[in-house]
Amino acid sequence: MSGVIQGGEEFVIAAYAVTAAVLSAYAASIYFRLRAEKRRASREEGR
Amino acid sequence: MSPRSRQWLAPALVVVGAALVCAGSAWGLFKAPPEVFMGEVQRIMYVHVPTAWNAMLALSFAFGCALAFLLTGDWKWDNRLEAALEMGVVLSLLLCMQGAIWAKPTWGVWWDWDPRLTTTAVRVLAVGAIPALRAFGEVPGRRAVWSAVACVIAFADVPIVYFSVKWWNSLHQAQSTPETVSSAFHWPLRINAFGILFLWTGLVALRARLSALRLREETAPPPPAEAAAATPAQGAW
Amino acid sequence: MSGLVIALRKDLLLQWRGRLQIVAVFAFGAAALLLFSFAVGPDSLALRQHAAGFLWLALLLASTLSLAESFEHELEDRAIEGLLLLPAGPRALYYGKAIANWTQLALLGVALVPVMVVLYDAGTTRLLPLLGIILLGTAGLSAPGTLYAAMTAQARARQALLPLLLFPLVVPVLLAAVKATSLVILGDPMGQLRPWTTLLGLFCVVHVSLCGLLFGRVVEDG
Amino acid sequence: MGSRIAIAAAGICHRYGRRWALIDVGFELPEGAATMVAGRNGSGKSTLLRALATAVRADRGTIHVLGVDARAERDRARESMALLDHRTHLYEPFTALENLRLAARFLGQPDTRAALLTRLDEVGLADRADDPVRGFSAGMRKRLALARVLLKQAEVVLLDEPYGDLDPPGFVLVDHMLERLRAQGVTVLMATHLLRRGQALCSRALVLESGRLIFSGPAASMPQPARTDAGFAEGA
């Protein structure tokens, strides 16, 4: 590993972007699934 | 604290975690000096290493839930197991992506068979198979026991996978991700680590609540006895 | 007669009655070996170089077929529940079935070696170490494989589920067995055979004991 | 006839998915008593027998067999019970003799051909000893399953519709078997739809209706099924 790696900024941005995307997508999926399940639960109790 | 008052805790953990990750990332991206050898690419470490720690923590928590369910048979452990497994897979998958993005500028290839990353990839498949097993098991009781057993075995298998890949791969080069990170870079690393920790614990708590809701029929108590009085004891059946 | 011996005789008899199925699984393995050579091309040097890898890949793929079938008769009339209610120890039932599956896989491995030698010109004089590796490797496949076969046999889509669960788990067996086998076939100048066989042994010990403990929970009802 | 309680069940509840198969079932059966379990299809008879036999772990409730807690000491409880289930617990590729020999070996009983042939003869299968069960009719499988249950010589015998699939001689066979078991002081719990025959052989009765126990007492005063099912014809 002789010289300092030139450039590579786009890879750094990509890494952070992927991290943000994956974590927020998963958090959103939980939120929507939870909301849908709560609505279904309340509808069933209402019946 | 009664469960009712704990409702706000999980979302709060998620928000605090997200904030910490943003702060840590910002620090790592903009304030921290570039590393001597690797220059800019080093900044990926501030998010890669904390993800690695937390992926292992999430799966260890899943292992704990699996053991607790096998020993106590209490449904809340099954809910937490399902949540922790899903979180572990997501974090491990994220780890593989980060590893690939890191390997490209550093080694010129997207995947350099680094023992830890390869083990993570195997772990994603091994642990990811368990939610599939749960999807195909109809009887909730049996599905829960199976996934707990599969989780225990998968967890016991990971170290062996690591050593076998390490030996198998030892011909190329020893270790491609740096073990130690010099002190100047510790702060962003530590902040991100706690950030992701709060984030995934909050998400697991919410995801467990979802599992509990889905199982409410299976764990609801039986209908009250007085309905029995409705049918005359000596009447016809 | 101990529970293990009874269970083992039962499983060996079951396999003997279903021996036609073993021939079919062997044909599948041999076909896989042939297909690998088509995939790589007629370059005999490359084929010989990767002969060990092809052998173990064919064995791994074929093993899921024989493992998935091994619990078919246990669940047909809830026969295994009948045994558990006698009561027969689940651990004896597991080790009986695991050893029977092991012998079947080992036979399969030994039968595939001549096909490999012919197709890939991968002959070797060190037959005893080769047999040892095949025995260790197939034991490593059979230990977790038997447990997961019991699990997936009771679920839907079991043909897809068993490989999905088993393959990531047996990565160490594949790595170590392929490495050890190619050392035997292509020569072992630096004498690296020992670490790989000890890794295989370690894998077997861990899984044989762990799966034996957990088998009871998998077959008991809830 | 010991005075001990053979089976003590309290608060048994069990569900399959959303449906409760058993709701709060509790009763006590003295040792040596022969009891019949009646009820419509799907009233929970089979689930009750399977829960008592520990083939299924009831979601709630406690079961004591001859004083042994079936949940805590399951294997010890299993040693004193034998279950005849809808699913016959047989290996299809094996012959009748091999199936019996397997069970005899696990039970530590003599597994010689002669001993097993006498067992098969008791259920009228001696001439089919070496034929694989795969080729057996439902009635022959039931007879083999009965032979397997008798082989165990358990103190508590649970029979889920022993008369099902049998031919008339099979009925007589089961009757004699039940009389012999009662003579030996074995506690019998039999789920059946042949009410008159059951009442003749059993002193006590349990009646289940959609998972609940609506009667537990002497067989003579057992509630009869409603005539609402048009043309409900009493079985043999």
Q: Does B224 touch chain D (CB under 8 A)?
A: no
Cα angle, residue B41 at apex, residues B86 and B107 outer, rounded to 5°: 85
Q: Does A6 touch chain B (CB under 8 A)?
A: yes
CB atoms within 10 A of CB D193: 17
- pLDDT digit string, tens, across residues C77-131: 899 999 999 999 999 999 999 999 999 999 999 999 999 999 888 888 889 999 9
Mutate to test the interface with D, among C14, C80, C86, C219 (most CBs of D within 10 A): C86
Mean pLDDT by 10 residues, chain D (236 residues): 80 86 93 92 92 92 93 92 94 95 95 94 93 94 95 94 92 93 94 90 92 90 70 46
Give me Rg for the CA atoms of chain C: 18
> So what's the pLDDT on residue C155?
84
Contacts of B203 in chain A (CB under 8 A): 26-27, 30
Task: Starting at the earlier edge strand, list the strands of the sheet with D204-209.
Answer: D81-84, D156-160, D187-191, D34-39, D204-209, D212-218
Q: Are B189 and B27 in contact (CB under 8 A)?
A: no
Q: How far apart are CA A21 and CA A19, in angstroms?
A: 5
Tell me whether strands D212-218 and D204-209 are parallel, antiparallel or unpaired: antiparallel
pTM: 0.90
> So what's the pLDDT on residue D230?
46
> So what's the pLDDT on residue B167?
85
| Three-class DSSP category at D132 | strand
- Location of structure tokens 């909050």: B202
CB contact burial B202-218 (16+ within 10 A = b; e otherwise): bbbbbbbbbbbbbbeeb
Touching, A vs D (3+ Cβ pairs under 8 A): no
CB atoms within 10 A of CB D113: 10
> So what's the pLDDT on residue D117?
95
Q: Does A32 touch chain B (CB under 8 A)?
A: no
Q: Are B85 and B147 in contact (CB under 8 A)?
A: yes
| Three-class DSSP category at A17 | helix
Weakest mean pLDDT among A27-31, B186-190, C164-168, D54-58: B186-190
Q: Which residues 6+ apart lie within 8 Å of B182 measured at CB?
A: B35
State how far the alpha carbon of D211 is from the alpha carbons of D14, D21, D45, in Å. Answer: 9, 5, 8
Contacts of B228 in chain D (CB under 8 A): 23-24, 212, 214
State how far the alpha carbon of B20 is from the alpha carbons of B12, B13, B27, C85, D140, in Å. Answer: 12, 10, 10, 56, 71
Q: Which residues is B35 bridged to in the sheet?
A: B39
Q: How far apart are CA C66 and CA C26, in angstroms?
A: 10
Q: How far apart are CA B100 and CA C72, in angstroms?
A: 42
Q: Do C79 and D78 touch (CB under 8 A)?
A: no
Q: Do C221 and B142 touch (CB under 8 A)?
A: yes
Interhelix angle B9-26/A9-46, nearest 10 degrees: 170
Q: How far apart are CA B59 and CA B186, in angstroms?
A: 24
Region of D78 on the Ramachandran plot (φ > 0 left; ψ -120 to 50 alpha; else beta):
alpha
Q: How far apart are CA B222 and CA B218, in angstroms?
A: 10
Q: Do C85 and D53 touch (CB under 8 A)?
A: yes
Q: Does D231 touch chain B (CB under 8 A)?
A: no
> So what's the pLDDT on residue B1?
42
Q: Do C83 and D55 touch (CB under 8 A)?
A: no
> So what's the pLDDT on residue B37?
65
Complex confidence, ipTM: 0.89
> So what's the pLDDT on residue C41?
86
Q: How many H-runs (helices) and E-runs (strands) does chain A carry?
A: 1, 0
Q: Which residues 6+ apart lie within 8 Å of C98 measured at CB?
A: C142, C143, C146, C208, C211, C212
**pLDDT range class, residue B184, cuts 50, 70, 90:** low
| Three-class DSSP category at D212 | strand
> So what's the pLDDT on residue A1?
42
Sign of CA dihedral A19, A20, A24, A27: positive
Weakest mean pLDDT among B174-183, C49-58, C138-147, D22-31: B174-183
Q: Does B145 touch chain C (CB under 8 A)?
A: yes
- pLDDT digit string, tens, across residues B16-25: 999 999 988 8
Mean pLDDT of B120-133: 94
> So what's the pLDDT on residue B229?
46
Answer yes or no: is pLDDT of B114 > 70: yes
Tell me whether strands D60-65 and D34-39 are parallel, antiparallel or unpaired: unpaired
